[in-house]
Chain A
Amino acid sequence: MKGYAFNVEKSLRAWRNGLAFNRTFSEDDLDELEQHLRDQVAGLEALGWGPEAAFTKAVREMGDYGTAEVEYRKVYWGKLQRKRQWGPELIWRLAMLKNHLKVSLRQLFRQKGYSFINVIGLAVGIAFCALVFFYVSDELQYDRFHAHADRIYRVNATSVNPEGDFYRTSIPGPAAPLLQEMYPEVEIATRLIPRGQALVRLGDVAYQENGIWLAEPSVFEVFSFSFVSGDPTSALAEPSTVLLTETTARKYFGDGDPVGGVLMYENTVALTVVGVVEDFPTNSHMRFDLLAALDTPGMTPAGSLEMWGRSIATTYVRLRDDAVSASIEGKLPNFVERYVADSLDPEEAYVLSLQKLTDIHLYPHVAPEAQWAASNLRYVYVFLIMGLLILLIACINYVNLATARALKRTTEVGIRKVLGSSRKQLLGQFLGESGLLVGAAVVLAIGLVVVSAPLFQELTEKSLGWDQINAPLTWVGLVGVWFFVSLAAGSYPAFYLSAFRPSDAIRGRASGKERGSSMQRSGLVVVQFATAVLLIVGTLVVQKQLDFMRQKSLGFDTEQILVVPLRDPGLQQSMDALKQEWLAVPGVQGVAFSSATPNRVLGSSTVQWEGAQSNEGLEMPHVMVDYDFMDVFNFELVAGRGFSRAFPTDATSAYVLNEAAANAIGWDDPLGKRIKLWGRIGSVIGVVEDFHFASLHEAIGPIAFHFGPQRYRVASVKIEAERMVETVAALEAIHQRFAPERPFEYAFMDEGFDGLYRAEERIGEITTYLTILALMLACLGLLGLTALVVEQRTKELGVRKVLGATVPSLVVLLLKRFVWLVLVAIVVAVPVAYVVVQQWLDHFAYRIVLETSIFLWAGGAILVVASVTVSVQAIKGALRDPVTSLRYE
């Protein structure tokens, strides 16, 4: 070639410069290698090679750069140690670190949008999962604060008779001391009796208390109480004594010392305060405010504690360490045979069983076979799975987006490699960056949890203070998440990129792996949106079912009906007078007395009928009513008549049944037939149309109405809608006169239903929040992804624009791909959603029908949201000036 002359020195210098950048080769090393080259060239020239050929061959025989670098690096650190030059090396590494940090931060700020989105999405996912875990751990740890929690059991009873099983959580009073005496495995047995609602008064201060229990001193040996004042060894040993919780004590006594004070129970029993205990934590199945001595006269019907025929005592036992509850349970039938059998009906079987204290909250008051279906535990598992799913999605989201972002930094990686970074250093850089970002997400998550704690407490009625958050498990979990997500997010790009040859990297050439990971990302979008569809469908269905249950015609009136409890004995004696005065108030349309309102029917008794076998009986609830009850609530009669003053026998020997009762007995025409309830025989005077007196979970069962003035506990007053406030005030004034010491409490009937569906309402609220969350996360992911794709196709967009494509057509182009993904998600999710939701609905005897409109709405909503998200980025990309896009080279 003309103008080109081979110059050994120049070539050597060029060769040397090619290596000089790399820190691994010191000046000495290069000198050594250079001399080797020279010797090699000399040797070849001696054999007759021309200078240029010799040089080329010599260089080739040195081996390749990559291997050399690797081998030299192995001894690099040893060299530094020997020459004691690690100082400068460390300084250099520190400088490099600073540079990495600077670049990382600069990168972060430049890509502020993406980093921000990514971090927020991850933080939200972590925070949510953490909240779910707090909920779950609270649910699973009910009652564990008691010292002997794993040895404490409650004794339950199941009565089996031909008509069905009846499950009770209380047993006869005499059982407990006997159990303790007879079985050495039972260390202690203690009894508690709930006293329901009662008026408690201290001088002028009176409150209607809900949490009154009776207990005996052995309760302190079974459960763990923290005494604030008073003597634990003697508390409750004497009758007519009472313990207060701190909150209750403060309510009556303010800051003063309650011990020695005397509280009046129902204005009839005087209770002396002997101590104050700390309130139990919220995760206790027992909630009490006052604990009175078990043997206090006047608080239980006389002698009831010694009767085998009355299941009055909620009994807990503490077993010995080595006792297996099964072995005790095996001995219980004997116990029943010996003591209980005499009080049972011949046909009735009575089974005692032990239930672990820690299971009580999770398994409700239904027979063991039905427990799983109705249990709280089921919901706990569901929440747990949802929490984990959301965390998983958030993490995968983060890793995917981080990886995609990292792939844009191939240029930087290439340069770093040429400058001497090893794979290890690159790995370190990426891991460090990802560790930083994920760390920020974790910290943000903690903040989010703290901020949302009040909302959480309100929603779930659990406490979530710093103590609970600060549990060791929390930190372990957070560190774990931080570790794994940083690793995943940092290592994939590091491995992927560090395998690049620097020249390729600098020229921005991507390899075929691109395609594979893009499939992954698409898959993720589908999963996220499918989950969102599922959640939206779930929310819609839950809401609809709740509305349905609230609005379903129950078969009787609930509007404009005021319910006033009649607890005062004084009131009970002058009921007729009270009714007359109330009826006189303008705005009052009807007044009725009964033992319970139609929606709060509790308890049941055995009913026998003429023509039945001597021991055949039907267990059914019954309500004691007065003449006006059926009118006030507007029950529909299908046969016969209601109670009437015209028939004096109605007050003593008349019954009204509902259709279900008549069917259960097997009568086509029940009128005139006779029934025996509580030893009283009467004839059926009417049949009322079936109505819902229990929750809509169950099918309508039998129920009977009859007279029983001595049992009236509640007054139901129907009032007009206009001038309600005045009417209520008038009612109150009259009530005051009849019962001056009793506060006038009332509630509207239609508000009372909510308690029944508490669990469902809660689910509804939680599902709504979940849906919003999942949707947000999904959109976040989609946003980041779209931005990325637009970025990648910038050149293509520029070219298309130059060739004349309009902005809308470009947007459609970008939209098409994502819309397709979302459609796939919808198609996948709908069948799954259908099955899941149908399963849940099957638990209700009365439920809505699943209409296709629900699914259409869900799918449509998702589609719209996704399209908007994608469009925002697409429009940005499409509007970009082609000049800038094409300058991207």
Chain B
Amino acid sequence: MIPTPLVAASIKPFVLSILSEGENYGYAIIQRVKMLTGGQIEWTTSTLYPVLHSLENKGLLESQWRTSPGGPRRKYYQLTAKGRGALSQEKQQWLDVHQALMQLWQPADLNPT
């Protein structure tokens, strides 16, 4: 059970990173994160979509409607240049914290099994 602050803190890095692989849409992003965390993080629509919209408002993402084969249109998001800059910043910050913590924890902790 991953606590809410961690979930909240990780939304932005997750979204930016996934979108750096290429354009994507909301539902797929949620499924991807679910898979990556082994089911521990499963975002609701209220969690993700407002974040996507917020990042779009700030200019880190841009969106496009595509008509998928077989029905209604779907909104796809992709990183902008500004978004890429933000991503590397997130990465840097996250890794800084991570490396500091790693110095404290024994190598054994890294692989609990």
Contacts and interface: CB of A to CB of B under 8 A. Distances in A.
Interface stretch (A74-82, A454-462, A509-517): A74-82
A29 B54 CA distance: 13
B5 to A, nearest CB: 17
A71 interface: yes
A697 interface: no
A663 B71 CA distance: 120
Contact of A35 (B54, B57, B75): B75
Given A35-B27, A75-B57, A67 B46 contact: yes
B90 interface: no
Residue of A29, A74, A75 with most chain B CB atoms under a 10 A cut-off: A75
B82 to A, nearest CB: 13
B57 A36 contact: no
Interface string A87-117: 0000000000000000000000000000000
Interface in A20-66: 28-29, 31-36, 38-40, 43, 61-64
A513 B68 CA distance: 53
A81 B31 CA distance: 30
B57 A78 contact: yes
A10 to B, nearest CB: 16
A705 to B, nearest CB: 98
A32 B75 contact: yes
A68 B45 contact: yes
Given A31-B73, A34-B72, A63 B53 contact: no
Nearest to A63: B44
A75 B53 contact: yes
A669 to B, nearest CB: 103
Contacts of B74: 32, 35
Interface residues of A, number: 26
A689 B50 CA distance: 99
A63 B45 contact: yes
A72 interface: yes
A355 B45 CA distance: 79
A78 B44 contact: no
B94 interface: no
Contacts of A64: 46
Interface string B35-57: 00000000011110110011011
Nearest to A66: B46
A421 to B, nearest CB: 20
B13 interface: no
B13 to A, nearest CB: 19
Contacts of B73: 31, 35
B54 to A, nearest CB: 5
Contacts of A36: 26-27, 45, 49
At the interface, is chain A mostly helix, strand, loop or mixed?
helix
A460 B73 CA distance: 81
Interface in A313-345: none
B44 A35 contact: no
Contact of B27 (A39, A71, A75): A39
A79 B59 CA distance: 11
Given A31-B75, A36-B26, A82 B49 contact: no
Given A35-B72, A35-B73, A79 B53 contact: yes
Contacts of B25: 35
Given A33-B45, A36-B26, A62-B45, A74 B54 contact: yes
Contacts of A40: 27
B26 A72 contact: no
A38 B72 contact: yes
B72 A71 contact: no
A326 B49 CA distance: 77
Contacts of A43: 31
Contacts of B44: 61-63, 67
Given A31-B73, A35-B73, A39-B27, A72 B50 contact: yes
A30 B27 CA distance: 14
Given A32-B26, A36-B45, A40-B27, A82 B57 contact: yes
Nearest to B27: A39
Nearest to A36: B27
Nearest to B75: A32
B46 to A, nearest CB: 4
Nearest to B71: A38
Residue of B27, B56, B58 with most chain A CB atoms under a 10 A cut-off: B27
Contacts of B54: 74-75, 78
A537 B56 CA distance: 73
Residue of B27, B45, B49, B73 with most chain A CB atoms under a 10 A cut-off: B45
Nearest to B55: A75
Given A35-B73, A35-B74, A79-B57, A68 B46 contact: yes
Contacts of B47: 63, 71
Residue of B28, B31, B46, B72 with most chain A CB atoms under a 10 A cut-off: B46
Nearest to A12: B72
Contacts of A34: 72
A72 B26 CA distance: 15
A78 B53 contact: yes
Nearest to B58: A78
B45 A29 contact: no
Contacts of A32: 26, 49, 74-75
B46 A63 contact: yes
Residue of B49, B56, B73 with most chain A CB atoms under a 10 A cut-off: B49
B50 A81 contact: no
A29 B56 CA distance: 13
B99 to A, nearest CB: 33
A34 B57 CA distance: 21
Contacts of B71: 38
Contacts of A74: 50, 54
Contacts of B27: 35-36, 39-40
Given A29-B49, A74-B50, A81 B57 contact: yes
Contacts of B26: 32, 36
A830 to B, nearest CB: 61
Interface in B11-35: 25-28, 31
Interface string B65-78: 00000011111000
B50 to A, nearest CB: 4
B87 to A, nearest CB: 20
A31 B46 contact: no
A62 B75 CA distance: 17
Interface string A170-194: 0000000000000000000000000
A71 B75 contact: no
B72 A75 contact: no
Contacts of A81: 57
Contact of B72 (A31, A61, A72, A82): A31
B63 to A, nearest CB: 9
Contacts of A72: 46, 49-50, 53
A605 B51 CA distance: 97
Given A62-B45, A63-B47, 14 more contacts: A28-B75, A31-B75, A34-B72, A35-B75, A36-B45, A36-B49, A68-B45, A72-B49, A72-B50, A75-B53, A75-B57, A78-B58, A79-B57, A82-B57
16 contacts: A31-B73, A32-B26, A33-B45, A34-B72, A35-B25, A35-B72, A38-B72, A39-B28, A62-B45, A63-B44, A63-B47, A68-B45, A72-B49, A74-B54, A75-B53, A81-B57
3 nearest A-B residue pairs (beta carbon) = A78-B57, A63-B44, A39-B27
Interface of A: 28-29, 31-36, 38-40, 43, 61-64, 67-68, 71-72, 74-75, 78-79, 81-82
Interface of B: 25-28, 31, 44-47, 49-50, 53-54, 56-58, 71-75
